């Protein structure tokens, strides 16, 4: 008995003649042989072995899994499978981050129902760099890329590196695009059964109407946009049916152009006037004046000679990438570029209408805010493109500066704003690059980001190019896209500033 600890209960009772039964103590278990030699607290003091002068400050926390997400809300997102493009580092898990939009749609465990991507970010934060890395890395999985309008010609280096010559669109250049092209849907028209011909006609006419609505509606009448109502729709649709020979039930349809459409409306035939239910030619001309003048602007306006004749470029759809450079239009202003993008989108959509199964493509719309700012009808035409993506398997990748670019199409409560808000939800994947503090609140309002995610976008993501918060459905990942030096050379967009060094 240790004197310092005094007498214990057993001794005390023994003094009074009670003997407590003694408890048999089990032998201590034999220690297992060490598998690894013990490591000193500061690591092994040897070159290359990780010795540290101070031990790592590890704090231990204990809480339930209910409470943990309150303290570390961003750690809660479960990992994504390692399939698709390896983009860089997931800073929350410390592992690699892989992007595979179509794979995510097919995986029921991931809350994504469409493969569309919207990327937002302040200029120069690495949005286009991420697009380029994504497209390049997806090529290994059989994806081809279509750059539907490159307003800064910044994809040219990438195209050339892949052995493809991009098409340049501008005044005085040979390349013309007909947004009223049929695309592959007109193939073998003569042999199509009636039901199939009607189905295809509905798709083609639908696309053309969306385009004309977008083009007419992008023009302004004072503060308001030129209206395009149901009567205008009937007139345009009937005129297009006449021009293509669809009305006459031809076995071969004739491709038409915007100037031809405008000319027919300007000098309507007697059949067109009657079919559109106007009493006289005079009445037809009076009531379609606004429509005709708006279309006339496209024929004789800034973009004349670019989108008003038959397509002159032969696109090789089997090439890994195709791009349409638009920098030559820059001097014409944002609006002209927006209209050019609307025309290209319609054409591009037509070209993809009969995509073969397995022909996987990433359709990139960089600087899409220029189109979205044109007005509600341009937003609708954009919306139509995104809705199609699930049908044809394309990944639509749109790049804008901030979510409210989509809202500038109309007044706060207008229909355009409602459509633009819906449009945001049409892309289940959003990549949020760095933003100024002022935009942070908007991210909360329009995308419902919590304060922590908002801080990441306005803080962490601003401190490095390529850093972004990836929202995959309602899960969030803190990702830094890493560029290989060869990719960095292809993604370099600061050439103009180099002389300032």
Ligand X SMILES: Nc1ncnc2c1ncn2[C@@H]1O[C@H](COP(=O)(O)OP(=O)(O)OP(=O)(O)O)[C@@H](O)[C@H]1O
The torsion angles phi and psi of 263, rounded to 5 degrees, stand at -65, -40
Q: Which of 240, 340, 447, 483 binds ligand X (CB under 6 A)?
A: 483
CB of 121 to ligand X, least distance (A): 5
**Comparison of 280 and 494: residue with beta carbon closer to ligand X:** 494
* Residue 137 contact among ligand X, Mg ion, none, beta carbon within 5 to 8 Å by kind: none
Alpha helices in 393-491 (DSSP H): 415-426, 437-447, 451-458, 485-491
> SS3 breakdown of the chain: % helix, strand, coil, rounded to 5?
45, 10, 45
CB closer to ligand X, 122 vs 352: 122
Closest CA to 347 of 276, 258, 417: 258
By CB under 6 A, tell whether 481 contacts ligand X. Answer: yes
Q: For the stretch 120-155, what's the b/e string if a residue is b when 16 or more beta carbons lie within 10 angstroms of its beta carbon?
A: bbbeebbbbbbbbbbbbbbeeeebbbbbbbbbebbb
Q: Please count the CA atoms within 13 angstroms of the CA of 196 that sit on its side-chain side.
A: 10
Identify the DSSP state of 80: P
Beta bridge partners of 398: 118, 365
Tell whether residue 481 is a contact of Mg ion (CB under 5 A). Answer: no
Measured CA to CA in angstroms, residue 246 lies from 255, 274, 332, 349 at distances of 11, 17, 36, 21
| Per CB under 6 A, 434 contacts ligand X | no
In a 10 Å sphere around its CB, with 0-12 CB exposed, 13-18 middle and 19+ buried, how is residue 444 labelled? middle
Q: Which residue is nearest to Mg ion (CB)?
A: 128
Is residue 124 near ligand X by the rule CB under 6 A? yes
Is position 136 an interface residue for ligand X (rule: CB under 6 A)?
Answer: no
Smallest distance, Å, CB 123 to ligand X?
4
Binding region for ligand X (CB under 6 A) out of 215-223, 284-292, 357-365, 485-493 = 485-493
What is the 8-class DSSP label of residue 4?
A: G
Q: Are 156 and 323 in contact (CB under 8 A)?
A: yes
Work out the number of other CB atoms within 10 angstroms of the CB of residue 94.
7
Chain position whose Cβ is nearest to ligand X: 466
Query: Is 123 a residue that touches ligand X (CB under 6 A)?
Result: yes
Please state the closest distance from residue 464 (CB atom) to ligand X, in A. 7
Question: Closest distance between Mg ion and the C-beta of residue 493, in Å?
Answer: 7
Tell me: does residue 485 bind ligand X (CB under 6 A): no
Q: Give how many residues touch ligand X by CB under 6 A.
A: 17
CB of 119 to ligand X, least distance (A): 8
By DSSP bridging, strand 96-99 and strand 167-168 are unpaired
Asked if 213 and 380 count as a contact pair (C-beta separation under 8 A), the reply is: yes
Nearest CB to Mg ion, comparing residues 128 and 288: 128
With vertex at residue 359, the alpha carbon angle to CA 163 and CA 484, rounded to the nearest 5 degrees, is 45
Q: Residues of 95-111 as b/e, b for ≥16 C-beta within 10 angstroms?
A: eebbbbbbbbbeeeebe
Q: Which residues, numbered 92-151, are part of the site for Mg ion (CB under 5 A)?
A: 128
The residue (of 101 and 121) whose beta carbon lies closer to ligand X is 121
**Residue span binding ligand X (CB under 6 A) among the ranges 273-281, 404-412, 423-431, 492-500:** 492-500
Stretch that binds ligand X, among 107-115, 218-226, 274-282, 483-491 (CB under 6 A): 483-491
Minimum Å gap between C-beta 467 and ligand X is 8
Question: Interface with ligand X includes 9 (CB under 6 A)?
Answer: no
Q: Is 38 exposed, middle or buried (0-12, 13-18, 19+ CB in 10 A)?
A: exposed
Q: Does 323 bind Mg ion (CB under 5 A)?
A: no
Among 342, 465, 476, 477, binds ligand X (CB under 6 A): 465
Among 84, 115, 121, 376, binds ligand X (CB under 6 A): 121
- Asked if 373 interacts with ligand X (CB under 6 A), we say no
Judged on CB neighbours under 10 Å (0-12, 13-18, 19+), 298 is: buried
Half-sphere exposure of 344 (CA within 13 A, CB side): 31
| 126 interface partner picked from Mg ion, ligand X, none, CB below 5 to 8 A per type | ligand X
Q: Which stretch binds ligand X (CB under 6 A): 41-49, 78-86, 404-412, 489-497?
A: 489-497
Strand locations in 336-461 (E): 361-365, 395-400, 429-433
Smallest gap, in angstroms, from Cβ of residue 152 to ligand X?
Answer: 7
Of residues 66 and 495, the one with the C-beta less far from ligand X: 495
- 226 or 364: CB nearest Mg ion: 364
Distance of CA 19 to the CA centre of its chain: 83
- Minimum distance of Mg ion from residue 327's CB (angstroms): 12
> Does residue 59 bind ligand X (CB under 6 A)?
no
Q: How far is the CB of 126 from ligand X (least distance, A)?
A: 3
Q: Which residue has the tokens 């044809």?
A: 392
- Select the span of 118-126, 157-165, 230-238, 266-274 touching ligand X (CB under 6 A): 118-126
Interaction site with Mg ion (CB under 5 A): 128
Contacts with ligand X by CB under 6 A lie at 121, 123-129, 465-466, 481, 483, 488, 491-494
């Amino acid at each position: 008995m240790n004197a310092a600890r005094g007498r214990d209960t057993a001794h005390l009772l023994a003094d009074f003649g009670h003997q407590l039964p003694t408890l048999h103590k089990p032998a201590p278990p034999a220690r297992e042989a060490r598998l690894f030699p013990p490591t000193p607290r500061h690591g092994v003091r040897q070159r290359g072995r990780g010795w540290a002068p101070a031990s790592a400050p590890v704090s231990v926390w204990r809480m339930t899994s209910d409470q943990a997400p309150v303290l570390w809300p961003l750690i809660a997102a479960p990992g994504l499978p390692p399939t698709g493009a390896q983009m860089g580092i997931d800073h929350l898990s410390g592992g690699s981050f892989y992007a595979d939009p179509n794979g995510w749609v097919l995986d029921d465990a991931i809350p994504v129902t469409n493969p569309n991507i919207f990327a937002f970010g302040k200029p120069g934060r690495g949005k286009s760099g991420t697009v380029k890395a994504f497209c390049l890395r997806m090529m290994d999985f059989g994806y081809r890329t279509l750059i539907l309008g490159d307003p800064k010609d910044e994809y040219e280096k990438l195209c050339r590196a892949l052995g493809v010559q991009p098409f340049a669109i501008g005044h005085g250049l040979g390349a013309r695009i007909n947004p009223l092209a049929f695309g592959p849907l007109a193939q073998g028209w003569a042999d199509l059964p009636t039901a199939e011909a009607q189905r295809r006609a509905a798709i083609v006419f639908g696309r053309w109407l969306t385009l004309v609505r977008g083009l007419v509606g992008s023009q302004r009448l004072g503060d308001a946009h030129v209206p395009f109502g149901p009567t205008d729709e009937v007139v345009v649709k009937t005129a297009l049916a006449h021009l293509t020979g669809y009305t006459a039930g031809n076995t071969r349809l004739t491709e038409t152009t915007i100037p031809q459409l405008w000319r027919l409306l300007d000098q309507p035939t007697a059949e067109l006037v009657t079919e559109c239910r106007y009493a006289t030619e005079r009445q037809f001309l009076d009531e379609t004046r606004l429509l005709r003048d708006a279309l006339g602007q496209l024929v004789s306006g800034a973009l004349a000679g670019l989108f008003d004749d038959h397509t002159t470029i032969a696109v090789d759809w089997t090439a890994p990438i195709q791009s349409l450079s638009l920098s030559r239009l820059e001097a014409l202003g944002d609006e002209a570029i927006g209209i050019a993008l609307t025309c290209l989108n319609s054409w591009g959509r037509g070209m993809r209408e009969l995509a073969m199964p397995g022909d996987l493509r990433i359709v990139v719309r960089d600087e899409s805010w220029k189109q979205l700012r044109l007005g509600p009808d341009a937003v609708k035409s954009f919306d139509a493109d995104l809705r199609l993506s699930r049908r044809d398997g394309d990944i639509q990748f749109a790049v804008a500066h901030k979510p409210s670019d989509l809202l500038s199409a109309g007044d706060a409560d207008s229909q355009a704003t409602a459509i633009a808000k819906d449009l945001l939800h049409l892309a289940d994947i959003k990549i949020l690059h760095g933003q100024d503090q002022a935009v942070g609140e908007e991210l909360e309002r329009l995308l419902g980001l919590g304060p922590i995610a908002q801080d990441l976008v306005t803080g962490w993501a601003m401190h490095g190019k390529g850093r972004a918060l990836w929202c995959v459905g309602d899960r969030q990942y803190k990702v830094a896209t890493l560029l290989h030096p060869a990719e960095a050379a292809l993604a370099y967009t600061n050439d103009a500033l180099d002389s300032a060094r």
